[in-house]
Amino acid sequence: MKVSKLTKPARTAHKPRIMGKRRAIAGSMMVLGSALLGGCITVDAPNEPIVIELNINITQEVIYRLADDVRSNIEENPEIF
């Protein structure tokens, strides 16, 4: 069957600004962009610093090491204790 075609066809009602391959790339970029935005994780800083707990643990070891010297210190310098 022969398809008859007008020599000067009318313009389409809506002409996309970007067409074909470029349109597909643009579309996928938009999807990727929104996925990145939606995937953001907000991390709130804790109110109390965690470092303090660590310091206490370190100090406890040191305290046990120093305890004997501290006891003799009291015997050697009773006037200031």
Which residues of this chain interact with another protein, rule CB under 8 A? Answer: 56, 59-60, 62-67, 69-75, 77-81
Give whichever of 25 and 63 is closer to another protein, judged by the CB atom: 63
Give whichever of 12 and 57 is closer to another protein, judged by the CB atom: 57
Beta carbons within 8 Å of 74's beta carbon, 6+ residues apart: 81
In the complex, least distance from residue 50 CB atom to another protein, rounded to whole angstroms: 17
Q: How many CB atoms lie within 10 A of CB 73?
A: 13
In the complex, least distance from residue 59 CB atom to another protein, rounded to whole angstroms: 5
Per DSSP, the three-state class of 36 is: helix
Handedness of CA 9, 10, 11, 14 (dihedral sign): negative
Give whichever of 40 and 64 is closer to another protein, judged by the CB atom: 64
